[in-house]
Structures are given as structure tokens and as C-alpha cells.
Amino acid sequence: MKEKKQGKSPSGFARLMEYAGRFRTLTYLSLILSALSSVLALMPFVCIWRIIREVLETRPDFSQATGIVRNGWMAVLFAVLAWIVYVSALVCSHGSAFRTAANMKKTLMRHIARLPIGFADEMGSGKVRRTVTEVTGSTETLLAHNLPDMAGAITMPLCMVVMLFLYDWRYGVACLIPVVLSFAVMMRMAGPAMQEDMRLYQNALERMSNEAVEYVRGVPVVKTFGQTVFSFHRFKASIDDYCEFCMHYTRMMRKSMVGYIVLINSAFVFILGLTLFLIRGDHYQMDILLNFLFYVIFTPAIATTMSKVMFMSENNMKINDAVARMDTILSIQPLAEPEHGQEPESAAVELKDVTYRYTPDASPAVSHLSLKAERNGIVAIVGASGSGKTTVAGLISRFFDPQEGQVLIGGTDVRQIAKETLMKHVAYVFQDSRLLKRSIADNLRIAKPEATEAEMLEALKKAQCMDIIERLPEGLNTVLGSRGTYLSGGEQQRIAIARAMLKNADVVILDEASAFADPECEAQVQQAFREMAKGRTVIMIAHRLSTVRNADCIYVLKDGSLEEQGKHDDLIQKNGLYAAMWADYQKAVSWKVGEEA
């Protein structure tokens, strides 16, 4: 038993207190103050009952009722004191809640920063965002409000049980009957089965959040082609699934909820029935009437308390679910870092018999792939969509590690190169290189924070960006995305290329870097590529074959394997896959509106 207890995982609340750190004391203090407040909140009921008893006992000579004013002020004093204590509990709980939520977000973001870049695509950016923001935010509400209320909800019934039997045990039993019955109904709604329902509910929300992100990203396509939300089948399906789950759960809980509400508010019916039974021929009618009045005043608190108990069970499930969802991210292991990182001896890049699967049961994205790229040259990787081009780029940048084979830079396995060293040697220009809404200088300094203005201008000149800088109102200091200053997709790509040049990395990976270049600026982008290749190893991932015809070596991939390799002219003469791709590309370029297929 002892070993089993030691191996038992901590509860959700215990995990939250780990994130609270030294502020957990405030949480415990808030629970104590909230419990004390609930006890004080019961005292005005006693004072009011004493006033009523004194009025009834002294009638019609009310001059003998000397304790009315004193009991009235005592009721006010207890009510104010209960409010002050409860506010103090909330101050403590909020102080702890804000810091706990902040620590949870910091823990998540520190861990995410260490994870391979590809993890967000696999998990879904919407799910990651929701875990970081909404899940951690929900724990803030739980700690700030729900936990103090829970302490009061536990303390108040204990005091009520004592008070129910203190005045008249018969009325105490009458009040407990609806409580017991309503609790039995409550357990049907908030019992262990609800934990699974809560998990399914949160899963439905996550799916809808993920698909919503993808839908928003596709809005330009929707507007361009006049489509509706129904074109995005997965998004609509996620909404329908969420709606169906909520409606099913609501219908399933409808009878139980109605039964609970009726029972918990029926205490008055039970005490009224008991009173009518007791006053028959009973000569202690005044005592019975006084007790009846006390329980009439007191019983409304029972419904409020039981509702808090019900939500307490739900809140505990929310805590466990929130912590479990955090653990799904925290359980993902970052890539292993070498104890003593090695330095690459050169800028040569080589893949040796590399195989990579995104998930264990998936088909290989690349399979037994070998290729090589040397300094002062441009290597292009082409192929149909899904052939593994971007996966190769991610492996070289160590966004993830291969299951088989080696990725070498300068003869050193990238797994033996420290992350900071690898990032110093490798620059990556993404297909969609969005710039920050800051000045162009700030965007460039991301690559080299200490860069001088002369260095930035030199990088911009090599990237063929001077025409952009010269027409901007404030040159390098022009803030993008504000006051009407925007750049086209091709212009943003050239700025991103300049940033890669400023970094002065030995290896530059261009993932569809010319995808947004219009015909007018494509020549400038090509010139930027040639400048970049001087003294560096440049690896281009491309669909637009015109951008790679001058490459020193073209690797053609098919289904994750190397199909062909060589220069453009040699591959055309082979009349293989590349030649067919080139022919299709030429047809697409020369196609005109009105021509028959």
C-alpha cells in the first residue's frame, strides 16, 4: 500500500500549488478566511430569529423587548464582518491566482521554446494557443473565485447541520431529507461520469479552435472564389460536432437538473408539513412556531450551499482537465542537446541515408535519402507536393531529428552541434516570411541585434532591396503595417533575404522564397540569390522551376526518395521526371486565357 501511495500522481490542486510557488500561502489563507466568512454569514440568521422570538414572546407589551436593537446591530455587524473577511479572502486568492496563471504560461512558453518547430504543426496551432491562453486562464478563475467559494461551501453545511439539530432535531431531519435526495441527484450529474463528459467537451472546443484558425487563414481564398463556410468541411464538421455534443448532454441532464432544482428548493415544503403535523393538539405551539420561523429564515441558505457544492465538483474536474492538457505539451520532449557541442568544420551539408516519419505509424516523409551541398554553390530541391522537400529543409535546420541516418554540416552531425551554434551557422527564409509591425531596421536586427546601419544597408543592397528603401518615407526607420506603409509579398521576401544575409550564416535555406515574387521583382530575387551564394551554401526548395535552372545541382524527389540529380540541361536530356515537370511548367507559363487545353 505504501509503494502504491508513493507512486500515485498528485491531484490537480496539488499541481496548481506547485506552480503557485511561495504564493501558495495566499491560497491557503484565502481558504481559511472564506471558511470563516461562511460561519460569520450564518450569524445574522440567528440574530434575526432572536429578534422575531423576542417580539412574539413580549407581545403585546413590546416595551419589554429590550434586545431588539442590540440583536439588530449584531446582525449588521456580523454581515459587515463576513463581507470584510470574504473580500480579504478574495484579495489573497487573486494575488495567488494571477501569479499561478503567469507561472503556468511561463512554464509552457519556456518548454515550447525548447521544442522542435514542427511540433505546433503536428499538434495544431489552435490547440497550442488555447492551452496557453484559455486553459491557463480558466485556472485563474478557479483559484481566484471558485476555490474560496468551495471552502465556504464545505464549511457552511457542517455549521448548518449543527444548527439544524441545535434548535429542534425534528426540523433538522425535515431539512436534511431534501438535501440528501438532491445530493443523490447531483451525483448523477456531477459524478465520475462527468469527468469523461468534461474531457469530450474540451476536446470538441479544441477541434473547433484548430479548425477556426485554419478557416481564418483561408478567408482570402473564400472571398476570392465566393465560397462560404460550408466549403470548409472540417470547420463546419467541428462546429456541428460541438453543437451535437452540447445538445445531447443538455437533453441527457435535463430531467436530473429539474429534479435537483425542485428538491433543493423544497425544504420549506417539508418543514411546513412537519409544522402542521406538530401543532395538532400540542400545547407548545409557541415554541413550534418560533422554530418554524427560524427554519423558514434559515433554509434558503441550503439551496445556495448545495449549488456551490455541485459547482465545486465541476471545478475540480476543470482543474484536473486543465492540468492534463498542459501535460500533453509538457510531456513532449525537446530535442536532445549534446553535453559538449561541436563546431562544424565547413559549410558543406550532407544527408546520409536519412529516413523521417512525422508519426510512428505514418509513411516516411523522406526515405533513405542521401544528398550533398557544397559552399559557394546553390543546390535546388524540387518535386511534387508531398515529395519531402520541406521535410529535408526542416531536417537540416534541426526542426526535428531523423529516425534513421545522419544530417551533417561541415562533417558534424547536427545532433552534436549546440542549438545556439547551429542557429549561428544556419539561416532559414520561410515561404511566407511575415515581417513584424516594427521598423525595417528592427526587422533586420532580429538576425544581428548589434548590426550597424552600414551593415544593414549593405545587406539590403545585396538583396536588391534599395529600390524599396529609397521610396519609403523614412527609409530604414519606416514602420511597417502602420500609417499605410505596406510591402508586397515579393518585397517582404527580399527583406527576409536581406535579414538572412545580415546574419552571415554559412548555410542558407530558402523554402519557396520566391513564391510571392511577381515577374517584375523575380529577376531581383534571383540576383539576391546569386549574391547570397558567395561564400555560403545555399539550399533552395522550389516549385517555380525557373528559379532553379541555374542551380549547381538539382535534386528531384518523389515520395520522399531521390529520383534524379544533376544540372538543369543534363536533367532535361535524361527525359525523366524533371523533364516532365519542366514541360508542364513551360505549358503553364505560356498558357493564355481562351486557349484550349
Give the model's pLDDT for residue 359.
78
Nearest to 201 by CA among 255, 243, 236: 243
Cell of 346: 565547413
pLDDT digits (tens, 9 = 90+) for 340-366: 878 888 888 999 999 998 878 888 889
227 vs 551, residue with greater confidence:
551
Share the mean pLDDT of the chain.
Answer: 79
Helix (H) or strand (E) holding 557: strand 553-558
Beta strands in 73-123 (DSSP E): none
Residue 448 pLDDT > 60, yes or no? yes
CATH for the 349-590 domain, from 3.40.47.10, 3.40.50.10440, 3.40.50.300, 3.30.420.10: 3.40.50.300
Residue 5 pLDDT > 60, yes or no? no
**Class (C level, CATH) for 8-330:** mainly alpha
- b/e 392-403 (16+ beta carbons within 10 angstroms → b): bbbbbbbbbebe
Residue 217 pLDDT > 60, yes or no? no
Residue 281 pLDDT > 60, yes or no? no
For the chain, which residues make up each domain, given as ranges?
A: 8-330, 349-590
Give the model's pLDDT for residue 378.
85
Q: Given pLDDT bands bounded at 50, 70 and 90, which one contains residue 16?
A: confident
DSSP 440-505: HHHHHHTT-TT--HHHHHHHHHHTT-HHHHHHSTTGGGPBTTSTT----HHHHHHHHHHHHHHHT-
Give the model's pLDDT for residue 484.
61
Give the model's pLDDT for residue 310.
64
Q: Given pLDDT bands bounded at 50, 70 and 90, which one contains residue 555?
A: very high
370 vs 205, residue with greater confidence:
370
15 vs 210, residue with greater confidence:
15
pLDDT digits (tens, 9 = 90+) for 378-428: 899 988 888 888 889 888 888 888 999 999 998 899 999 888 888 888 888
149 vs 193, residue with greater confidence:
149
Residue 3 pLDDT > 50, yes or no? no
Residue 446 pLDDT > 60, yes or no? yes
Give the model's pLDDT for residue 77.
94
Nearest to 381 by CA among 584, 577, 557, 525: 557
Distance between CA atoms of 305 and 117, rounded to whole angstroms? 48
User: What average pLDDT does this structure show over 305-316?
Assistant: 66
pLDDT digits (tens, 9 = 90+) for 55-113: 877 777 777 778 888 889 999 999 999 999 999 999 999 988 888 888 888 888 888 87
Which of 30-44, 78-92, 281-295 is predicted most confidently? Answer: 78-92
CA distances from 344 to 301, 341, 393, 507 (A): 73, 10, 18, 11
Distance between CA atoms of 317 and 462, rounded to whole angstroms? 58
CA distances from 462 to 127, 362, 453, 511 (A): 40, 42, 14, 19
299 vs 104, residue with greater confidence:
104
Q: What percent of the chain has pLDDT over 90?
A: 11
Residue 314 pLDDT > 70, yes or no? no
